[in-house]
Amino acid sequence: MSHVNKNRLFIASCMALLVTSMTFAIRAGILNQLGGDFLLSNKNLGWINSMAFFGFPVATILGGLFYNSIGPKRLILIAFFFHLLGLILTIFASGFWTLLISTFFIGFANGSVEAACNPMIAELYPNDKTTMLNRFHVWFPGGIVIGSLISMFMSNQGMAWQWQIAIMLVPTLIYGYLFLGQEFPKTKALLGSTSKNFQALFNPLFIFMMVCMTLTAVTELGTQQWVEKILKNSGASPMVVLALMSGLMALGRLFAGPVVHRLNSVGVLLLSSVIATIGIYTMSFASGDLVYISAILFAIGVMYFWPTMLGFVSEYLPQTGALGISLMGGAGMLAVAMWQPVIGGWLDTQKSIALSDGFDESSADLIAGQATLSHIAIFPAILVLLFGILWLYRNKIVKA
């Protein structure tokens, strides 16, 4: 890797992830506008959201399978193309089906970024994988902060949602420029061939971690994607809450190294699941200023989930290679895709019940949001049990 500019590749990867996260934040910020402009129910909005999360695992699974043969450079080109295509088609969307298709393309681009950059960064920094993956994933919450503040500002100025989508074309072009002409690490340096990677996927520990990944992803992204709908009548600003949570997550990931080294990956995951459960449960009955406090707890709980799960697989199951890392991310996003219409359905159902009980529109929205959060809190609660088992298992191996 003598001619590989590691710093530029890392910065370019961070910029690509910034675009990925901005799509999540701005989509969360414009859900109400989309629903109003196209007369869409929460369940329909859930299906549109699900396409972003469904396109992601399709890309990561394909990227993981072909990473060793085509390398990260071609995957980045695919990501760049589908980001441009998805964003432009969204701007000119005319209804439910065009939003569905364009959102899938954006999700596919987002997945291609992760499929290319996660294993590439693990390859660039073989002695510090978990720390560097956490630093890379700083830019997911970092982009959500930027995107949520942009969305809030533009919405407050009365600007159409199409302009919020269009602004993401700027960082897309920047990351395309940063990757342009760069030499990438040779994929032959990765551990094992694709066939050997595939065989390693049947390790019971990998299967266990994939199950856990589905729960960590829904806990984090299932909550964040619906923040505008869930908290709009809570007495707190939903987009400020999203920015607060994401800012704390970015800060935590930036300084993840000492935390991971002190507690180890499993300890971080177990403690995170406990705090995330408390945070979401508190948010399910909070209003006013208490929403911000519960949001802080939630952010502390989920900040290390995604990169630490990927780092665990890279460090403890290296035989799975790029395929293992990509499938982990794919499993997480596929789970979030499947739960999006369900979460939207919860909101619709709970609101209908509240309205039939005589509550006004505003109160019904608040009740529906809080009830939905109480359902979501079940996911991290299950993780407390699963990561507790993993912690006992790993301690037994170490002592033996």
CATH number of the domain enclosing 241 = 1.20.1250.20
Residue 378 lies in a domain: yes
19-54 burial: b if 16+ Cβ within 10 Å, else e = bbbbbbbbbbbbbbbbbeebebebbbbbbbbbbbbb
Phi, psi at 92, each rounded to 5°: -100, 20
Residue 52 lies in a domain: yes
Which of 393, 361, 353, 340 has its CA nearest to residue 27?
Answer: 340
Residue 376 lies in a domain: yes
pLDDT in the model for residue 217: 94
Residue 1 lies in a domain: no
Residue 50 lies in a domain: yes
Residue 78 lies in a domain: yes
Instruction: Give pairs for 32-41: CB < 8 Å, separation 24+.
Output: 32/228, 32/229, 32/232, 33/155, 33/160, 33/161, 34/99, 34/161, 37/161, 38/95, 38/96, 38/99, 40/96, 41/344, 41/348
Which of 340, 277, 282, 330 has its CA nearest to residue 306?
Answer: 330
Structure confidence by residue, pLDDT tens digits, 329-388: 889 988 988 898 899 899 999 999 999 999 898 899 889 999 999 999 999 999 999 999
Which of 267, 325, 390 has its CA nearest to residue 133?
Answer: 325
Residue 291 lies in a domain: yes
Q: CA dist 382 to 223, 335, 377, Å?
A: 16, 15, 9
pLDDT in the model for residue 192: 54
pLDDT in the model for residue 189: 44
pLDDT in the model for residue 191: 47
Regions in the chain scoring below 70 on pLDDT: 1-2, 187-192, 397-400
- Rounded distance, CA 268 to CA 264, Å? 6
Domain interval for residue 77: 6-399
pLDDT in the model for residue 362: 86
Which of 52, 246, 86 has its CA nearest to residue 165?
Answer: 86
The tally of domains found in the chain comes to: 1
In the chain, what is the greatest distance between 2 CA atoms, to the nearest angstrom?
70
